[in-house]
Amino acid sequence: MNRLMIQAAFCTVLCPLLTAQQPTQAASTSDHSQTASGAQSVADVLQPSAATVRSLALKNARTISVSSDTVFLTVSTLDRALMNQKGWAQLGLNIVDVPHGGDLEIQVNRLVFTHIHTYILTEKATGIVLASGRVRAFDGVVASGPMAEQIVNALCAARLSAQSASSNRGL
């Protein structure tokens, strides 16, 4: 019997308090959701897509730097391999020897106890990953050729298609 009386006392004391607070909470929640959705729709309109941001970063870059986290593939080996690629001269990019100094950065690594060499091409200012890949080769000299080919192909796809499209617009 005591238990029922305690429950009844709680209901009579707490129920009016709970019902008095519910409308204010509901009103503030609905107002908050309306402002959040309004702010979200404005943000969606102002933000470009991720593909657009990546392509603009590749088009606007003027310098590129290479850093290596492995002794098996040195920076100078990849520099030579990049400059020996067919489309490199058309890209108009300069390789900078200053660590972490270019508009774009290529980070090279080799997975431990494997023959897999990886690279990540990022925009230095924002840290956005623009391209990545891996090459399986016994040593860094052999891996540098296919790796440089993949990097130049990714850069040519973004930079040269934009240049040809802009030159066609003028005609």
**If you ran DSSP here, which 8-state letter would residue 170 be given?**
T
CATH architecture of 52-169: 3-Layer(aba) Sandwich (3.40)
Beta-sheet pairing, 116-123 with 104-110: antiparallel
Please say if the pLDDT value at position 10 is more than 80.
Answer: no
What per-residue confidence (pLDDT) applies to 46? Answer: 66
Q: State mean pLDDT over 132-138.
A: 96
Annotated domain spans of the chain: 1-47, 52-169
Please say if the pLDDT value at position 147 is more than 70.
Answer: yes
Please say if the pLDDT value at position 79 is more than 60.
Answer: yes
Q: Other CB atoms closer than 10 Å to residue 81's CB: what's the count?
A: 22
- The span from the CA of 134 to the CA of 127, in Å, is 19
Q: For 14-51, how does the pLDDT look when each residue is reduced to its tens digit (9 = 90+)?
A: 555 555 554 444 444 444 444 445 555 545 556 788 88
What per-residue confidence (pLDDT) applies to 164? Answer: 60
Q: Which of 84, 51, 49 is nearest to 157 (CA)?
A: 51
Q: For 83-98, how does the pLDDT look when each residue is reduced to its tens digit (9 = 90+)?
A: 999 999 999 999 999 8
| Amino acid in the structure at residue 149 | E
Q: For 94-126, how does the pLDDT look when each residue is reduced to its tens digit (9 = 90+)?
A: 999 987 788 999 999 999 999 999 999 999 999
3-state secondary structure of 21: helix
Please say if the pLDDT value at position 165 is more than 70.
Answer: no
- The span from the CA of 119 to the CA of 111, in Å, is 11
